[in-house]
């Protein structure tokens, strides 16, 4: 095996093409020309996505003794978004081209945002349309929340918003969770769910979507301990990505400048990944202070406090919020795993995915379509299906099938050959090293379980 020919700095197009060809990601409603900023996850994509979410939930909820889960509704009382500040301030400056009428984010054109959808910076200080070079309007603020209506009447009073973040569902349930679980500070609420933002310029494949999924924790702490907990979470979240096999050199933590902070944040760190378009946010870890609980208490008239037995006082906890994107994590995992290698003079494409994330854990491959191999191969597949996501592939040469599995990150291939008919054994072939080992069928589940420990 040789060194990878291509590092992490591969073109986005390579992954877009692989994703479509192998069924990871499709353009939404593609047969109608698609819809900008929306994507569909195919048969392998849905597995990888679920695995990302499962890994997060395990680290965020299952393995901790201080965090509980929640699944709040997407549409909420519209007053939530008034209280949270989103109705007033959740907006991007937008400019229109006077010539071609295309719309852009003003901050993209100034080149401030590393992950700008188009990557065009203003030349000579005067921004022109990156598409046609036309003159641009003055920036106007554009609210990013999608609106819809609840009930049969389309009027102002029935306007609701598709949530632009999952966080508020956790803040408005603070008292419900506290009361029903009898938690003591510090404790957290975790949630995975869809969120929607009417981005002016979605782009960079699934990096900036209009519909996306978040994995968020609201971690409630005593005021005064917030900075210490903030550091804890920055470290914990960085380590989570490393634990999934993301290479250290492609990951960094950046503290936001004061002028980059959201309206609710005292301090924010970003975990960033080195995508082809540059360092871009995978996750934001914000100190939201007591902003949200205070605002919801004020707007709802309900008391959202915690009784501190030590001091005998009701306090409003501070919140540390690690907020990660499923889609961005998915993209980083694909980039980081992607390798092109030369093996015995032939190119092989390899997704070096952590086994816990791999969409398929094992593929069963009869050496050929010879009829004598079908029954034992099907039996081996039957044996594995209850334990893991598996595939059965009997088309084309065995070499081609190994390559196909390498390309989607399958850690193990199980080959059934003519010797199997005599010795009741099969060959396990490992993805990265391509090492092969013979094991009896009777011990196959155990042998794979050992190799897939904890998956």
Nearest residue (CB) to Zn ion, 108 versus 283: 108
- 69, 119, 134, 376: which one binds Zn ion (CB under 5 A): 134
Q: Among the candidate windows 85-93, 99-107, 262-270, 423-431, which touches Zn ion by CB under 5 A?
A: 99-107
Please report how the helices 12-22 and 326-337 are oriented relative to each other, as an axis angle in degrees rounded to 10.
100
Is residue 132 a contact point for Zn ion (CB under 5 A)? yes
Using rule CB under 5 A, residue 95 touches Zn ion: no
- 5 vs 100, which CB is nearer to Zn ion? 100
| Cα→Cα distances 88→39, 82, 145, 200, Å | 29, 7, 11, 17
Return all residues near 31 (Cβ < 8 A) that are at least 6 apart. Answer: none
Interatomic CA distance for residues 267 and 258, integer angstroms? 8
Note whether 217 and 322 are within 8 A (CB).
Answer: yes
> Is 129 an interacting residue with respect to Zn ion (CB under 5 A)?
yes
List the structure tokens of 48: 């990888």
- C-beta atoms surrounding 91 within 10 Å: 15
Among 107, 110, 131, 227, binds Zn ion (CB under 5 A): 131
HSE-up of residue 163 (Cα within 13 Å, Cβ side): 21
**Total binding residues for Zn ion by CB under 5 A?**
7
- From the CB of 201, what's the least distance to Zn ion, in Å? 13
Asked if residues 351 and 24 have their Cβ atoms less than 8 Å apart, the reply is: no
* C-beta closer to Zn ion: residue 108 or 321: 108
The phi-psi region of residue 249 (left if phi > 0; otherwise alpha if psi is between -120 and 50; otherwise beta) is: alpha
Q: Strands of 368-430 (E only): list them.
A: 390-392, 412-416, 425-430
Q: Is position 118 an interface residue for Zn ion (rule: CB under 5 A)?
A: no
Which of 72, 99, 236, 447 touches Zn ion by CB under 5 A? Answer: 99
Among 97, 117, 413, 444, binds Zn ion (CB under 5 A): 97
Query: Quick one: which H or E segment has residue 254?
Result: strand 251-255
Stretch that binds Zn ion, among 33-41, 45-53, 93-101, 204-212 (CB under 5 A): 93-101
Task: Please say which residue, 104 or 171, places its beta carbon nearer to Zn ion.
Answer: 104
363 binds Zn ion (CB under 5 A): no
**According to the binding rule CB under 5 A, does residue 437 interact with Zn ion?**
no
The reply on whether position 94 binds Zn ion by CB under 5 A is no
Burial class (CB in 10 A: 0-12, 13-18, 19+), 50: middle
Q: Which of 5, 75, 82, 100 binds Zn ion (CB under 5 A)?
A: 100
Q: Which is nearer to Zn ion, 37 or 130 (CB)?
A: 130
Q: Which residue, 6 or 132, has its beta carbon nearer to Zn ion?
A: 132
- Residues that bind Zn ion in the complex, under the rule CB under 5 A: 97, 99-100, 129, 131-132, 134
């Amino acid at each position: 095996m040789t060194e990878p020919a291509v590092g992490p700095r591969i073109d986005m197009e390579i992954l877009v093409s692989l994703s479509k060809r192998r069924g990871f990601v499709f353009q939404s409603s593609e047969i109608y020309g698609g819809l900008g900023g929306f994507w569909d996850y195919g048969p392998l994509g849905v597995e990888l996505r679920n695995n990302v979410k499962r890994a997060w939930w395990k680290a965020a909820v299952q393995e901790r003794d201080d965090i509980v889960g929640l699944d709040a509704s997407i549409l909420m009382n519209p007053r939530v978004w008034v209280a949270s500040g989103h109705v007033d301030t959740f907006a991007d400056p937008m400019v229109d081209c006077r010539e071609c009428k295309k719309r852009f984010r003003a901050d993209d054109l100034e080149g401030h945002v590393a992950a700008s959808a188009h990557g065009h910076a203003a030349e000579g200080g005067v921004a022109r349309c990156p598409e046609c070079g036309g003159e641009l309007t003055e920036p106007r603020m554009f609210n990013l929340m999608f609106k819809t209506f609840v009930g049969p009447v389309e009027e102002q009073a029935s306007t609701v918003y598709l949530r632009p973040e999952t966080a508020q569902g956790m803040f408005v349930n603070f008292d419900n969770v506290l009361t029903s679980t009898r938690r003591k500070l510090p404790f957290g609420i975790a949630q995975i769910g869809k969120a929607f933002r009417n981005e002016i310029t979605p782009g960079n494949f699934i990096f900036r979507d209009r519909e996306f999924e978040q994995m968020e924790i609201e971690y409630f702490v005593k005021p005064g301990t917030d900075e210490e907990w903030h550091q804890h979470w920055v470290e914990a979240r960085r380590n989570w990505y490393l634990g999934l096999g993301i290479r250290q050199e492609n990951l960094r933590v950046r503290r936001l400048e004061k002028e980059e902070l959201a309206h609710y944040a005292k301090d924010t760190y970003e975990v960033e990944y080195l995508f082809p378009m540059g360092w871009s946010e995978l996750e934001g870890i914000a100190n939201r202070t007591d902003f949200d609980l205070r605002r919801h208490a004020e707007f709802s008239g309900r008391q959202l406090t915690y009784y501190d037995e030590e001091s005998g006082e009701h306090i409003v906890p501070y919140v540390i919020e690690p907020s990660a994107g499923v889609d961005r994590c998915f993209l980083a995992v694909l980039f980081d795993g992607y390798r092109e290698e030369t093996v015995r003079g032939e190119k092989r494409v390899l997704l070096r995915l952590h086994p816990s994330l791999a969409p398929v854990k094992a593929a069963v491959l009869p050496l050929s379509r010879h009829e004598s191999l079908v029954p034992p191969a099907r039996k081996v597949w039957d044996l594995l299906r209850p334990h893991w996501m598996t595939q059965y592939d009997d088309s084309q040469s065995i070499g081609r099938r190994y390559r196909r599995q390498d390309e989607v990150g399958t850690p193990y291939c199980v080959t059934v050959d003519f010797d199997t008919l005599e010795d009741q054994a099969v060959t396990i072939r490992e993805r990265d090293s391509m090492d092969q080992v013979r094991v009896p069928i009777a011990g196959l589940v155990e042998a794979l379980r050992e190799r897939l420990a904890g998956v």
